[in-house]
């Protein structure tokens, strides 16, 4: 199996190390992420969440995806965890469980009773918070597993092997190419704005906003121009929308490892459903 | 060329989504930006390119869900429908009503007034409805009175904003955009987006208690972006899109 | 019509929708196996003609077509573009816009998969095409975007060649390449011709290469063919070509003016006869060489960089311990191969990047202490691709953009807009959207928008890429005029002939360091520097270096005019 840069490698510059997992069929890797996503539905108690956390961590280790990748998610994890905690302890209309701590900030005598708002920490609330936060970890690790082990090349050829219409795989190829192109263009546009006196990352929110608006016009103009040029280049290479590919250049086949991994993931899903209380 | 421009537009939306979520984040909801500037790309794309634009919003949001938000593929898929809806609604209005979008400005100053009225009107409306749904129903007064006043004032302000839009340029274009492209698009995408983050998804990443906060932030943020950046995009780029042949009268071509 | 005519264009006229008539009656007949060099000033209609040959015009681009175009037996109005593409391959100027896939192999396979070919045959064609352009199999797994300019263009050619077209059209394929890259591309095309007898149509401003390789030259101007014929015949019309904006090959100019019966197309052809002339004239001890403009060493330093180092995130050390100063009134060229640090140097100078180490001083002040609005009035930078810095809906608004940011009153802004647009020849386009300007016009607009702020130091990145000779000269003269107002102009360029004509100081960069800094002619005498920095020295100098080697005496002249002056002076001396 060809090894190319994973999507995360492209985005974050963190290269994956060669591993058995990386060499699996792209459809296997997509299936693993998909099955783990379904398993997450059953993560309604701590036991299931722990099972899934362990499972996805094992896959990550098998895939030898550098832990550095997770650094980039730390802010996301911390932010949503904080939000979850605040939501559960501050915004629950009627918190369940035994109260561990209670502090009322606002009390309003209303027509049908007294409305109280404040911080109410209950045991069930704590359990709920732990489950949500752990689920976030599973989510993030699953997304990392998918993007860290899959390259855009594999996405395209994986879909092609399913005989998805040519135009779809071409559009996906263009999408990935476009990301690299526009990230680069956005950087240059940002620099050219600085040279004209605007800084997109400094100043008040209003100034940032203004600078942002100005950067969109050249980005869209570049997009239109590139669309024209790329369309022209494709047409003059004989590639059109209605094209049907007569040949599949890369033939990918499933190996023993693929079946083993898919079956294992299925087993995890079934077990999660069982202990999650289906 | 539409497939190529759709693919590249999706890429641009994605890049902008990533950049705006990092520069203007709503802390707590990954991928939800206080000022989700990417909406200003794919909502106009829906108006210009029909279903291509709606799909661009959907796919870019799907990938945004994967990275940097960290949602699973299924969660990202469900969540991304919010952006599909957001681009689809104005496209529906413009295509079904057979309105040829003409965003030429006759009285540019009214765009700011329209934006301010709609934003504050929507904010009051959302506040009022939120208070009624969460508190008014259970506790009655004074929440119900608060709800009534805020809804009336909010609705009045929003309606005034829509009326003001008539004077900006071509009335059909501007009124349709104000209603469908700013208000309804933000509202329905906010409903689906916040709902898919807190109420319905496989599973929802955030607890149901967070629904209203995320919903309000989402809707207001999108209204601000669409009323300002979206308007600027439509005014600046509609003539260009039409002249280059990218504009699509129907849904696909 | 001869039976092996592969391209037949008769009475071709084309007008874009909402535009002016671009082609005004073109007749062109090309035989199988010919190498046609198509040249002409910017805006002549060369790319439009290319698009007409592929069927894209009129099938994909709306407009009015008159006349007929037949290529490989297909009428381009009636045969689908994709069907024509099976026989006609096109390589455009920017290879990056031609790449869709993430690896070279996938890029080459893209067009082959639709041809009903076996995977093994596809593999064979891919290998063969790669070899033809001089690339080995290790390139297959590489990303096209990571390659050098020459390699990218060769991959683009290989992708098209793998389809085995009968006609290969190349639209300015070498405009963004350094000399080595250009040589690689031309060598590939020559290989292709030898192996497959493919008909080649190449659009180029590089007349020296066209003279060397083409069987026939076609000069297009203002939508019509002005000149057509074998290279010697066409390029010998020196004055006419220069007038319309086409730079004839220097060797052709020299030999034409010397009165050769048949002007030489290459240095090898010209050398024996020129040596003969020199022998007859007993040309010795020539006091040749133009004296270069003296440095403005007494003027104050406006920009200085002290021990500047820059490392990009990712670890690439783009600039290594660079110290350099620029004085008021200097016109400086910064040259060097791609990746040598030229653009990084420019970006550090204008504060877009912050040095990892060292300081950048503008009029004695550290730029770190300056506000952005202050900085833009002191130093301006024009990017290589003008599309990256055009933000507004009209030319007028674009020029006014920066002036509004610094807070000038509206009346003054409008006056400046009128003045600057007139200076740059875009005053008739003030209400047009920048998107619809030609590339040259957009470049001038980008320059106008920066010059409007009247910065003390102006840095222009590759201002002449893809432009014709006349426009290039005009642009350089404009920059020279700006300099004469007491400003400092720094130009990043590959074009040595233009540098020699206009610039008084040259900085050669290589691998993040300054390799040389001084008078251009002096630097260009150093073979090591030329080789290391991959500088393209003018054809005249290559000729005179060969003469020097044979005759043993120095002849440091760089332009046809200088050489002719030397030869005619000697003949005058001898005749006295």
* Domains, chain C, ordered by start: 5-248 (3.40.50.300), 267-291+539-575 (no CATH), 301-518 (3.40.50.300)
- Nearest chain A residue to C114 by CA: give it: A245
Q: Is A186 helix (H, G, I), strand (E, B) or coil?
A: helix
Q: Do C143 and A217 touch (CB under 8 A)?
A: no
Q: State the residue for tokens 């691998």.
A: C511
Cβ atoms within 10 Å, residue C146:
9
Asked, as a colleague might, if the bond just before B68 is cis with ω within 30 of 0, I would say yes
Q: What is the pLDDT of residue B31?
A: 54
Strand residue runs (E) in C87-231: 88-91, 167-171, 199-203, 216-221, 224-229
Q: What is the pLDDT of residue C574?
A: 38
Enumerate the domain spans of chain A.
Answer: 24-150+253-278, 151-247
Q: Is C536 helix (H, G, I), strand (E, B) or coil?
A: coil
> At what angle are helices A123-149 and A26-41 packed, to 10 degrees?
170
CA C56 to mean position of chain CA atoms:
25
| pTM (2 d.p.) | 0.85
pLDDT digits (tens, 9 = 90+) for A122-149: 999 999 999 999 988 898 888 888 888 8
In the predicted structure, residue C191 carries a pLDDT above the cut 70: yes
Q: What is the pLDDT of residue C573?
A: 39
Q: Which B positions 172-201 lie with beta carbon below 8 A of chain A?
A: none
Q: Do A112 and B138 touch (CB under 8 A)?
A: yes
Contacts of C159 in chain A (CB under 8 A): 237
Cα B94 to Cα B46: distance, rounded to the nearest angstrom: 9
- Nearest chain B residue to A211 by CA: give it: B229
pLDDT digits (tens, 9 = 90+) for C86-119: 999 999 888 877 888 888 998 898 888 878 788 8
Mean pLDDT of C220-224: 94
Q: Which two three-digit tokens encode residue C48?
A: 């439009």
Contacts of C380 in chain A (CB under 8 A): 195
Cα A249 to Cα A160: distance, rounded to the nearest angstrom: 10
Q: What is the pLDDT of residue A215?
A: 82
Q: Do B139 and A209 touch (CB under 8 A)?
A: no
Q: State the residue for tokens 């290469």.
A: C209
Nearest to B73 by CA among A155, C551, A277: A155
Give the gap in angstroms from C-alpha C393 to the nearest C-alpha of chain B: 6
Contacts of A221 in chain C (CB under 8 A): 387, 390, 434-435
Q: Which residue has the higher pLDDT, C360 or B247?
A: C360
| Torsion sign (Cα): A235, A236, A239, A242 | positive
Cα B19 to Cα B247: distance, rounded to the nearest angstrom: 27
Cα C35 to Cα C43: distance, rounded to the nearest angstrom: 23
Q: Do A115 and B135 touch (CB under 8 A)?
A: yes
Query: In sequence order, what DSSP letters do the residues of A19-76 get, joined into one string?
Result: -TGGGS-HHHHHHHHHHHHHHHHT--SHHHHHHHHHHHHHHHHHHT--THHHHTTHHH
Q: Do A178 and B12 touch (CB under 8 A)?
A: yes
Residues 6+ apart with CB under 8 A from C402: A196, A197, C376, C449, C450, C452, C453
On whether the CB atoms of residues C510 and C478 are closer than 8 A, the answer is: no
Q: Say which of C85, C94, C110 has its CB closest to residue A236.
A: C85
Q: Which C positions 424-453 lie with beta carbon below 8 A of chain A?
A: 434-435, 449-450
Q: What is the pLDDT of residue C247?
A: 92
Cα A259 to Cα A267: distance, rounded to the nearest angstrom: 12
* Percentage of chain C exceeding pLDDT 90: 54
| Total residue count of chain A as it appears in this document | 278
Q: State the residue for tokens 């007569």.
A: A246
Contacts of C100 in chain A (CB under 8 A): 170, 173-174, 177, 230, 234
Cα C5 to Cα C9: distance, rounded to the nearest angstrom: 11
Q: What is the pLDDT of residue A1?
A: 44
Q: Is C535 helix (H, G, I), strand (E, B) or coil?
A: coil
pLDDT digits (tens, 9 = 90+) for C129-161: 998 888 888 999 888 888 887 888 889 999 999
| Distance set, CA C177 to CA C35, C351, C548 (Å) | 21, 28, 29
Q: What 8-state DSSP symbol labels residue A17?
A: P
Contacts of B245 in chain C (CB under 8 A): 62
On whether the CB atoms of residues B8 and A178 are closer than 8 A, the answer is: yes
Nearest to C202 by CA among C38, C9, C30, C6: C38
Nearest to C398 by CA among C466, C327, C453, C463: C453
On whether the CB atoms of residues C13 and C225 are closer than 8 A, the answer is: no
Q: What is the ipTM of this complex?
A: 0.83
CA B134 to mean position of chain CA atoms:
24
State chain C's mean pLDDT as an integer: 88
Q: Do C435 and B244 touch (CB under 8 A)?
A: yes
pLDDT digits (tens, 9 = 90+) for C226-236: 999 999 999 99
pLDDT digits (tens, 9 = 90+) for C3-31: 689 999 999 999 987 677 899 999 999 99
HSE at residue A214, side-chain half, CA atoms within 13 A, is: 28
Strand residue runs (E) in chain A: 99-110, 113-122
pLDDT digits (tens, 9 = 90+) for C521-574: 999 999 999 988 888 889 999 999 999 999 888 888 999 999 998 887 654 433
In the predicted structure, residue C56 carries a pLDDT above the cut 60: yes
| Distance set, CA C324 to CA A77, C194, C320, C330, C480 (Å) | 47, 49, 12, 13, 21
Contacts of C160 in chain A (CB under 8 A): 237
pLDDT digits (tens, 9 = 90+) for C384-443: 888 888 888 899 999 999 898 888 899 999 999 999 999 888 999 999 888 888 888 898
| Distance set, CA B95 to CA B46, C300, C410 (Å) | 10, 64, 41
Using the Cβ of C124 and the Cβ atoms of chain A, whether some distance falls under 8 Å is answered with no
The segment with the largest mean pLDDT, out of A247-251, B13-17, C305-309, is: C305-309
Enumerate the domain spans of chain B.
Answer: 1-104+170-242
Of the listed ranges A210-214, B162-166, C68-72, C533-537, the least confidently predicted one is A210-214
Of the listed ranges B95-109, B139-153, C169-183, C395-409, the least confidently predicted one is C169-183
Using the Cβ of B207 and the Cβ atoms of chain C, whether some distance falls under 8 Å is answered with no
Q: What is the pLDDT of residue C292?
A: 55
Write the burial class of residue C18 (CB in 10 Å: 0-12 exposed, 13-18 middle, 19+ buried).
exposed
| Torsion sign (Cα): A181, A182, A185, A187 | negative
Instruction: List chain A residues with pLDDT less than 70.
Output: 1-6, 8-16, 200-202, 241-248, 277-278
Using the Cβ of B80 and the Cβ atoms of chain A, whether some distance falls under 8 Å is answered with no
Contacts of C434 in chain A (CB under 8 A): 221
Residues 6+ apart with CB under 8 A from C345: C305, C319, C322, C324, C334, C509
Using the Cβ of C401 and the Cβ atoms of chain A, whether some distance falls under 8 Å is answered with yes
Contacts of A174 in chain B (CB under 8 A): 3-4, 7-8, 11
Q: What is the pLDDT of residue C196?
A: 85
CATH architecture under which domain B1-104+170-242 falls: Orthogonal Bundle (1.10)
Q: Do C391 and A226 touch (CB under 8 A)?
A: no
Q: Which stretch of DSSP H or E encloses residue C64?
A: strand C63-71
Using the Cβ of C393 and the Cβ atoms of chain B, whether some distance falls under 8 Å is answered with yes
Strand residue runs (E) in A111-208: 113-122
Strand residue runs (E) in C154-195: 167-171
Cα A258 to Cα A250: distance, rounded to the nearest angstrom: 18
Using the Cβ of B226 and the Cβ atoms of chain A, whether some distance falls under 8 Å is answered with no
């Amino acid at each position: 199996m060809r090894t190319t840069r994973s999507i995360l490698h492209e985005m974050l510059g963190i290269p994956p190390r060669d591993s058995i997992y990386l060499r699996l069929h792209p459809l296997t890797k997509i299936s693993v992420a998909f099955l783990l996503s379904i398993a997450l539905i059953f993560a309604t108690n701590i036991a299931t969440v722990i099972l899934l956390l362990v499972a996805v961590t094992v896959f990550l280790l098998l895939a030898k995806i550098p832990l550095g990748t997770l650094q980039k998610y730390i802010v996301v994890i911390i932010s949503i965890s904080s939000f979850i905690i605040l939501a559960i302890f501050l915004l629950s209309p009627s918190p369940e469980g035994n109260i561990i701590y209670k502090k009322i900030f606002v009390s309003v005598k209303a027509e049908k009773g007294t409305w109280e708002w404040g911080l109410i920490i209950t045991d069930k609330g704590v359990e709920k918070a732990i489950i949500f936060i752990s689920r976030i970890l599973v989510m993030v690790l699953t997304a990392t597993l998918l993007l860290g082990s899959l390259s855009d090349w594999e996405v395209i050829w994986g879909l092609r092997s399913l005989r998805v219409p040519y135009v779809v795989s071409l559009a996906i190829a263009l999408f990935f190419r476009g990301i690299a192109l526009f990230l680069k263009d956005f950087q240059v546009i940002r620099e050219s704005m600085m040279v004209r006196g605007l800084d997109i990352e400094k100043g008040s929110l209003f100034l940032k906003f203004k600078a942002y608006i100005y950067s969109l016009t050249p980005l869209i103009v570049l997009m239109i121009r590139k669309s024209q040029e790329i369309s022209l280049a494709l047409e003059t290479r004989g590639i059109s929308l209605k094209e049907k590919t007569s040949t599949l250049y890369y033939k990918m086949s499933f190996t023993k490892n693929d079946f083993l991994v898919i079956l294992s993931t299925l087993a995890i899903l079934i077990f999660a459903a069982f202990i999650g209380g289906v | 060329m539409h497939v190529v421009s759709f693919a590249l537009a999706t890429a641009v939306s994605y890049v902008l989504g990533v950049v705006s979520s990092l520069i203007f984040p709503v802390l707590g909801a990954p991928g939800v930006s206080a000022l989700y500037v990417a909406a200003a790309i794919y909502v106009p794309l829906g108006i210009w390119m029909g279903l291509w634009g709606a799909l661009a919003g959907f796919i870019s949001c799907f990938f945004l869900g994967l990275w940097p938000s960290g949602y699973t593929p299924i969660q990202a898929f469900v969540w991304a429908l919010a952006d599909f809806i957001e681009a689809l609604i104005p496209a529906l209005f413009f295509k079904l009503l057979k309105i040829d979008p003409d965003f030429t400005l006759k009285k540019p100053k009214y765009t700011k007034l329209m934006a301010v009225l709609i934003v504050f009107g929507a904010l009051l409306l959302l506040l009022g409805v939120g208070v009624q749904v969460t508190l008014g129903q259970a506790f009655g007064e004074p929440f119900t009175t608060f709800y009534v006043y805020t809804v009336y004032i909010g609705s009045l302000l929003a309606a005034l904003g829509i009326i003001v839009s008539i004077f900006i340029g071509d009335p059909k274009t501007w009124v349709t955009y104000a209603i469908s492209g700013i208000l309804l698009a933000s509202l329905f995408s906010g409903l689906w987006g916040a709902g898919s983050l807190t109420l319905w998804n496989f599973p929802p990443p955030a607890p149901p208690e967070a629904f209203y906060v995320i919903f309000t932030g989402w809707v207001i943020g999108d209204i601000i972006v669409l009323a300002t950046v979206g308007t600027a995009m439509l005014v600046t780029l509609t003539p260009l899109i039409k002249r280059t042949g990218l504009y699509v009268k129907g849904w696909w071509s | 019509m001869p039976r092996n005519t592969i391209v037949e264009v008769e009475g071709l006229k084309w007008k874009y929708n909402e535009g002016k008539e671009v082609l005004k009656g073109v007749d062109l007949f090309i035989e199988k196996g010919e190498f046609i060099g198509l040249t002409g000033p910017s805006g002549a209609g060369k790319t439009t003609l290319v698009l007409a040959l592929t069927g894209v015009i009129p099938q994909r681009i709306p407009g009015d077509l008159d006349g007929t175009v037949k290529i490989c037996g297909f009428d381009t109005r009636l045969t689908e573009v994709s069907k024509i593409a099976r026989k006609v391959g096109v390589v455009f100027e920017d290879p990056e816009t031609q790449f869709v896939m993430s690896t070279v192999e996938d890029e080459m396979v893209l067009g082959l998969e639709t041809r009903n070919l076996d995977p093994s045959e596809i593999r064979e064609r891919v290998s063969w095409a790669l070899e033809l352009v001089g690339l080995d199999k290790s390139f297959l797994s590489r990303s096209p975007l990571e390659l050098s300019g020459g390699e990218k263009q060769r991959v683009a050619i290989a992708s098209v060649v793998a389809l085995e077209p009968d006609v290969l059209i190349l639209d300015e394929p070498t405009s963004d390449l350094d000399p080595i890259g250009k040589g690689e591309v031309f060598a590939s095309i020559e290989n292709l011709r030898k192996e497959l007898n493919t008909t080649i149509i190449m659009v180029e401003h590089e007349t020296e290469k066209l003279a060397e390789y083409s069987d026939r030259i076609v000069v297009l101007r203002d939508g019509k063919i002005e000149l057509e014929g074998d290279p010697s015949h066409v390029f010998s019309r020196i004055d006419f070509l220069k007038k319309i904006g086409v730079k004839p090959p220097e060797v052709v100019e020299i030999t034409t003016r010397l009165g050769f019966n048949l002007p030489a197309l290459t240095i090898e052809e010209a050398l024996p006869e020129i040596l003969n002339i020199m022998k007859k004239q007993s040309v010795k001890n020539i006091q040749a060489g133009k004296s270069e403009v003296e440095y403005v060493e007494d003027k104050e330093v406006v920009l200085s960089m002290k021990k500047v180092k820059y490392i990009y995130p990712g670890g690439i050390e783009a600039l290594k311990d660079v110290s350099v100063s620029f004085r008021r009134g200097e016109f400086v060229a910064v040259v060097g191969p791609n990746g040598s640090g030229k653009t990084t140097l420019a970006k550090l100078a204008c504060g877009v990047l912050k040095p990892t180490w060292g300081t950048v001083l503008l009029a004695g002040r550290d730029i770190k202490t300056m506000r952005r609005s202050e900085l833009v009035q002191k130093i301006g930078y024009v990017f290589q691709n003008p599309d990256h810095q055009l933000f507004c809906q009209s030319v007028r608004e674009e020029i006014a953009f920066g002036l509004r940011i610094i807070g000038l009153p509206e009346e003054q802004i409008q006056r400046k807009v009128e003045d600057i647009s007139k200076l740059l020849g875009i005053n008739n386009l003030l209400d047009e959207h920048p998107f619809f300007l030609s590339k040259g016009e957009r470049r001038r607009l980008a320059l106008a928008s920066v010059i409007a702020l009247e910065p003390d130091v102006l840095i222009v990145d590759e201002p002449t890429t893809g432009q014709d000779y006349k426009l290039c000269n005009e642009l350089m003269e404009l920059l020279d005029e700006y300099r004469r107002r007491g400003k400092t102009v720094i130009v990043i360029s590959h074009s040595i002939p233009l540098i020699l004509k206009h610039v008084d100081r040259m900085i050669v960069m290589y691998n993040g360091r300054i390799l040389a800094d001084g008078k251009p002619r002096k630097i260009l005498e150093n073979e090591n520097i030329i080789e290391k920095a991959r500088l393209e020295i003018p054809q005249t100098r290559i000729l005179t270096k060969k003469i020097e080697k044979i005759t043993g005496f120095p002849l440091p002249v760089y332009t046809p005019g200088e050489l002719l002056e030397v030869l005619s002076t000697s003949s005058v001396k001898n005749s006295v």
